[in-house]
Structure 1
Amino acid sequence: MSERIGELIDGRYQITSAISRGGMATVYSAVDTRLDRTVAVKIMHENLARDEEFVSRFIREAKAAAGLSHPNLVQVYDQGWNQGGVPAVFLVMEYIPGATLRDHLFAVGQLGAKEALEIINQVLSALTYAHHGGIIHRDIKPENIMITADGRAKLGDFGLARAVSTGNTLTADANVLMGTVAYLAPEQVQRGIADVKSDIYSLGIVLFEMLTGKKPYEGDSPIQIAYRHVHDRVPAPSTLNHAITRDLDSLVLHATAPDPGLRYQSAREFQEDIRKSLLLLDPNEQQLSLPLGIPEELRRPVRTAKTKREKSLGAKVNAQEAKPEISRPRMSNTSEIRRRTSRRVRRNRLIALAIAGVIGITGWYQLFGPGAQIAIPSVVGGTKKEAERTLEKLGFDITVAKSVFDEQIPKGKIISMSPPAGSRVSEGERISVVLSKGAERYKVPSLKGKSISQATIELANVKLVIGSAQSQFDLKIPKDQIISTSPAPGTMVKKNTQVNLLVSKGPELVAIANYVGKSSEQALNELTDAGFDVKQSDEFSDKFPMGIVIAQNPTDPELTKGAQVSLTISKGPEKIKVPSGIL
């Protein structure tokens, strides 16, 4: 991290020391030589700096982030592309003495409820302001929340949030993304999209970690963690920390609902519940301090043309009232009341009564009458029995539309539902679900001793195909029949997997010489080296000297390698013992 110390970035920012190094960038402290102030300079790693699409997107988003100004946001001052020295994409930010929330959690393990809620309250103030300006963070995690020396929380990295697209989240370097994936909302994982409710989900995960000291999901790879965000339900923090109250459980579970429609719909709504929980923790504190809240310009009511018009009309009315009253003949009380009650007033009363009646009837019909509708809870990721228990309690019928193979979702779990979770439907509505048959796998059949044509048919029957075919000699398997397969028989493989074959060329034929009349030692050595099984016998011969091959069987010019060859070896002429006394 020290290779840039002393370097002057963009002819203005003198690097003085390294602060930290992350998956995408290294952060340095620097001196702004133009304004003589300390700043933080984030320099992207070279592999990202070479990506033109990333650079243009990064600069565009950093410009938008630079327009944000809030006490709970890390202020962005400048951004650019260093041309004066080593090429680098950089971002200049407010220098904040302190540590990240990740550092704080590493030091203390888990936070108390009051401290955790106060931090979330401040971050939500920043998010309310940013969301009001149309900017989504997309990458909320403890590493992006700074805690200043005086305890103030500041949310940073708005400039990087959109530059690193979620479409690449699961394909980039696992070391870079392991931390980010732990806080991604299900819709970011599944569809690569993010909105206000995605930020709320991520902040709910941060709250879970602050209260328990652990992330809700752990895994060896980003894919495993992302899968659980999509198919599992974030557990209540009290399952890990029994000191946590139901009120805090409710905050986390509401913020991290898998269905975005069931989460808090805005950062302001989430913040209201956080502040209520803070009051429950400290009932004597009747009003929360607001220096870290929403800026005054967002709380001040907007002056509209309607307001001005109402004032203008009010002025006219006052002017009319100020006119001198013209004396008229005194009328009876009844006549005076009729005069004051104009036709327009009567009409307005009738309209108001009619509207009130319609609203009342509609409300009764939809809330209590035959048209009453209920929000469908999510059953995705659960089993059919679990879904039946959940939905039948609410008066819904459940039916399985179809079962399909899925590489990610285990067998028997629900992949999707229709209507989708969060939809409001009438009691008795039929909810159809799609069940997973698990990963599509087929067993490799035994093909030993079969021809290639037979193997092709058998593999097609189990949705597999023939891959490569190699041949070798085999003493036992006849020519053109299969010796073995790879993968081996019984192996479970994916659809259309190629099965490689090893086909027999039959026994190997080896040329054999005729050793009759030759040395038995030569014959034995050469035949053994050629792979034959040599059997020898001896007999007397008047024609061949001792040690010479008299006969060889078989006499074919080619034999199967390993075949038996019989040799008859001469013992020389047979000697006859002559009895003494005959000669």
Structure 2
Amino acid sequence: MPISTPSHAGKVINGRYRLITLLGSGSLGQVYLADDIPQRRQVAVKVLHDSLINDEESIEKFRKETEIAASLTHPNVIDTYEWGEGEIPFTVMEYLSGGTLQEMLERTSALTISQAVVIGVAASEGLDYVHKRGIIQRELKPKKILFNSEGRVKLGGFALAADLSGTALTEKSKYASPEHREEKTIGTASDIYSLALVLTELVLGKDHVGQDAQTDSAESVSDPAEAIFGSITPAITKALTYEPSNRPDAETFRDMLVEASKELSRPDPLPIKSGLGISITTPVNPDDTDANNPKKLTPFTRIKKAAQFVASRFRRWTWLLLMAALIAGVISLVYVNDDEEIINIREVPDVIGLTPQSLLDQVSSFWELEEALTREDGSTAGTILKTIPLSGELLEEGQILTYYVSQGSELRDIPLGLTGLSIQDAEAALLGARLTLGVITQQSDEDIGIGLVIGPANQDSEMPTGSPVDLIVSSGPELRTIPVDLEGNSFEDAETALVLEGLQVRKQEVYHPTIPEGIVIMLNPASGEALLRDSFVDLIVSLGPEPLAE
């Protein structure tokens, strides 16, 4: 019932996008459903995996994919609104509530040829647009074909064709072209082959196309039987040609599908999913004192409500005609079927501030519960912040009730650039980020001056609003200890030992009756004493016996 805990749920990206719940994850990052706070719209935000924050190669790949996506503007390509790298690299895209083609296949198993052609034509138009700009899909597959709420096909996940020239892509699926599986150079023709395989699977049904390609040899694909694929057989057959040069380009493939569609029946609407499965219901009547009890909707009740709706929108003469038709329908229902259809509905309870267990105790198994995690300043972790549908609205039995559970206050980024600041300046920076100054610990540091901030005491990059941030403050460089047993050594050896300790040397030469020239007689300060870095140590060095006077 509950979904897995997303690590960034509740975080506000770029001061604007509040991450709500995890939608999916890939090799580079996670994609979240988010609120665009100023625009009051839902968007999808992709953030780089935490484990890759310091991986320059991954950051560069994330940046390049984002730049490519942001450069594309086409009705069949996912729109990219904004991107940046601030505290964490991110990309803001349109939220496609219709889900992926892969999810559609899992729900419906197979589509009609007409429906497959609708998807194929739209995908071809998107591919034609990107191919003419030197960009390819790499390996088109159902999970890379998405739908918006109106059923429009959208493609994503592109790469520059030049970046793939002469490279072998090791990740292969059953939709990979022969040249991809054989680790040859791939181009735009590879996308057409993959699209033809996807359309084949749409008609034949899920899991009826090939298998994951784990070998180096090309898997043979049977020519589509005309008895199954009808008028689109020539287009599919041509696109599945082994040699890339013999396949049609995206524009030609699209034209072939359009021509074939003239012999097909009108397609049914595509069975796209509705967002997160959240139901939209009618608000309850405030005068209804029995709203918490299940209601029974019979055919007669439905007809009455429909009649009231129609009456409010049509002229009197139109209403009379429709009423006559409705009365005839009622009579037909009475005589044809006396069994009344019973549908239970119930008012969504007010559980704001309660625990999920309290909600479960109230509704038992009446609805299917779906948990989403979020954050909100001032909220108590583990309590419900809101439900969809809202409390007081009606929801049929068995429908999805989504409840949002607080993980505590919103996450705030710990400011960068604290290193080298005074404690007062660091505290001001923390307050500006809606955090507070915590415990101060002193630690020696070779480079940062006494009293200046070295950095936060922990490795966290973000903390809940109002949290104290502990700081480490420099106490200056460590004290240096003068090495022992330097007396009796040559000046050069003693000097080297002191310099390696971070101390400076001053040489004083004196005559000594018994100690040879160049040997250290004594040190000032003496061996074993502790000094600040770069302090001077005087080395008293022998000049040998004093010359005799002539």
Structure-2-length-normalised TM-score: 0.44
Structure-1-length-normalised TM-score: 0.41
Larger helix percent: 1
